[in-house]
Each structure stands twice: as structure tokens, then as C-alpha cells.
Amino acid sequence: MTVYLLKSTVCLLATLLFYKGVLERQNLPRFNRFYLLGSLLFALTAPLVPVEPDALGLPVEPIQLPEVVSALPDMNLATPSPVVAPLATAAPKTDHISAGLWVYGLITILLLLRFGLNVFRLLHLARTNPTVRLHEATVVLLPTDVLPHTFGNYLFVSQSAYESHAIEPELFTHERAHIRQRHTLDILFVEWLLAVGWFNPLLYFFKRAIQLNHEFLADRAVTAQCHDVAHYQKLLLSKLTSSPAFALTSTLTFQTTKQRFTKMTKHTSRLGAGLAMGSALVLFAGLLTVVGSSTLAQVAPAPQAQPTKEQTKPAPRQPKVPTSTRRPQLSVAELEDRFGNIEVQLPMKNRKPVYKKFSDLTPEQKKHVVYIAPEPTKTPSEAEFEKWKNAKMYGMWVDGKRTRNFVNTSLKASDIVAFSGSYVHKNARQPEGYLYQMDVMTAPYYEKYLKDEAEKPFLIYIERYWGK
């Protein structure tokens, strides 16, 4: 969950900065409305979208490791682990997460109740006061002296001002534009997000930007009809008020008036609009590649047995090591001292693996040998563990055995002491169609795995660097 929230915040921050720096300076209120709402939806969903490396044009090479699948970037290639120690029992931890969830839940419930109460109060006003039908709007006549404001299809006005025809036609046009363009739906969506995501300050900036853009849209509807921009601006100045209004309504505010006046006379060229819109699409695509969930290693298991002399074996396919681990981290002298009698897996011949003792290799060949250290301990988060239960996305191997009904597993996240994941290439996918292969180990199996690794260290020769 923490990773999801961080990725979502990155999306919100990037899209908000782009809006404030580029789009808000252009007179594109209609596009900006969809951009702002789309940014919120994008931040909610993008971190959950699996991004396949093929779609990004990234090189992905298969990796084969012995006994247990292992993600190479997480390994320590410089220091072997020949000593096996029993796993220590984790000390009990204070359940800070549960306490935090209780606090979050309590605040969220209170905010949702306030949100519902505001909606109820507005609907109650509409039902308990006289109404008049005006085109697509239902005018609610209030006994108090208020400025026109809207919620849904309701237009709230002062009854005395309405009956005395003291409300200017431009104000009616402005508020009817809010109703016709369904701006209340945008505000309800943002208010709901604020109720459940109150801890994220970026949402409050989005709310203000969306409300201000609504005013730009309504102002455009007025100026398109009356054409007298100066007269409309003077009218707005005469109606400015500091009196509070409901958070869910549209009304006039002093803070936004200057920006609204600027937008009324600003013109954006087609070229400028096209560049701004195109840049927004590029931003979304770039963010998706950054925050979308992806795994770049394709991994397959290899055999445990090691031969006593150079021979061929009907076992693993030839391993290839990614760029970050291609060069051996141990010197030739260290490899000779620690693994002189250990066999190295060499490039395949006639589609069969070949093994040879490290001490029997030529000096040049020894420079291209890499020691693969055992998988380090790591326990998944509860969120990661729950994601693995999605059989359409994940193929699960528990303690070296395929587990097809992992959704009903009796294991808990705390039972897992080591795990690794791999992206399954399109041409290597099984009939089940899962996108990722996950290999997890429990404590007893991990101890056995460490013993096997200590007895039979895994050394591989990197084919691409073999001199020709």
C-alpha cells in the first residue's frame, strides 16, 4: 500500500505541476476540465496497471538459477554465504499499522458523514422552499439574501431578489452553465476523494483548480452570449462577497476574480493548444511507464546436481546475466581460493549444458566467471501477499513446487522468508496465462536451500564475453 500511495502521489504532483505551469496559462477550460479529472483517475489506477517490458521496448533476457528462482539485482555477488545459521524468531512488534488504520478509518468516517450532511442540507433546502422551473434549472427561492449558486439542477437564489427582477440575466446565464455542464458531478467526485484521501494535500489543490476552471467555463458561456466583456466584469465586481457558501456549490469568490478576468480576454492559438494537449498526453504516457507495475527479469529453475567431471547433462538451459551483474565481483584469486574445485556451468554445446572445474579453466575464461550468491531473506508485505492470490496475474511456486490454488493457501505473509519474481515473456507463457512467476520459500525450505548452496555454490560462465 505504501508503494501504491507513493506512486499515486508522484502522478498527482507531476500532473498538477504541468497544469499550473502550462495548461492553466492557456485558455483551454474545456480540455483542462477533462485533464484535471483524468489526472485524478490516472493517479488512482496507473500504479495498478501492469506494464509489460515488450510494450516499453526494454531488453529482457531470461535468467536461470539453480534450485530456486532468484532476481539477480537483489543478490550479493561479492560475498558468498557458506555458513548456515538457524533463522532467528522475529521479536513481537507493536501493532502501529492497526492503530494507524483505526485513526484513518475514524477520520474518514467523520469526513464522509460531513460530506453526506452537506448534500442532505442542500437537498433539504430544495425540498422545503418554493421552486420555479427555468429551462433546464429548478430555481429554489430562499428567504435569505444570498448570491445565486448551484447544486445539481438546483439554482438557489434570494426570493425577494428573484421576484423583484433584481438578478441580472448574466448571472442566470452563468449559473445555468454550471447546471448544463454538470459541474456538480466533478465536485462530488473530488469531495469523495478528499473524504477518503484527506491525508494527501495535493487533492486540495486539485479541488481548487477544478472549481476555478468551472468558473472559466461558465464565464465563457456568458461572454459568448452577451459579447460585452467589460460590462460583465463590472457586474462581477459589484457582486463580490466574502460571505461563506456551501463547499459543494458554485458561487462568486473574491480570490478567483482576477484570474477570471484575465481568462475572459486571453486567446490561445491552435498551435499553442495543440502543443499543450500533445504534451499532456506525453506526460501521461511517461508517468505510466514510471509508476506502472512491471518486472523485467524472466527466470527459470535449473538443476541441483553437479557432475564430478566435464560432461553433458540433460538439465538447465544456458543462463544469461543482466548488465548489472555481468562482471564478476570477486577477483580470480578469490574465486580460485574459494571455488577452485567447484564446477562452472559453461555455454551449451549441442543444446546441452557443459560443466568444468574452475581450476581447469584457462586464465582468460576465469575472468568471466560469476558467483551467484544465495537469495537473501525478505518477507512480503500484506499487500504484496494478497496480490499474489490473483491467479490471472501470478503463477506461484511454494518451496520449489507449483501451487495452483494459492488463493486458498494456509500460509501467511509472515511465513515467507524469501521470495523472488519474474516477468513471463509472451513466448514462454503457460496455458494459465499468468504474467508473473513468483517463487516463495518458507523457513524450513530456506534453511535447506542455504545448506545446498553452501555445499554446491553456483558459478556460471558469461557467454557474451568469451573471447573469439
Q: Given this model, what pLDDT does residue 279 score?
A: 94
Q: What are the backbone angles phi and psi of residue 374, rounded to the nearest 5°?
A: -60, 155
Look up residue 423 and give its three cell numbers.
516477468
In this structure, the number of other CB atoms found within 10 A of the CB of residue 46 comes to 21
Coil, helix or strand at residue 302 = strand
Q: Given this model, what pLDDT does residue 190 score?
A: 94
Low-confidence stretches of the chain (pLDDT beneath 70): 51-95, 240-255, 293-329, 463-468
Positive/negative CA dihedral, 6, 8, 9, 10: positive
**285: burial class by Cβ within 10 Å (0-12, 13-18, 19+)?**
exposed
d(CA 11, CA 46): 8
The b-or-e profile of 85-123 (16+ CB within 10 A means b, else e) is eeeeeeeeeeeeeeeeeeeeeeeeeebeeebeebbeebe
d(CA 464, CA 321): 10
Contact 155, 280 (CB under 8 A): no
Those residues whose C-beta lies under 8 Å from the C-beta of residue 430, and which sit 6 or more positions away, are 395, 424
d(CA 341, CA 299): 27
Q: Given this model, what pLDDT does residue 357 score?
A: 83
Q: Given this model, what pLDDT does residue 108 score?
A: 93
The separation between CA 330 and the C-alpha centre of its own chain, rounded to angstroms, equals 38
Q: Which whole-number Å values give the CA distances from 329 to 75, 170, 322, 324, in the listed order?
A: 12, 75, 14, 11
Contact 366, 405 (CB under 8 A): no
Q: Given this model, what pLDDT does residue 87 score?
A: 45
- Which helix (H) or strand (E) segment holds residue 72: the answer is none
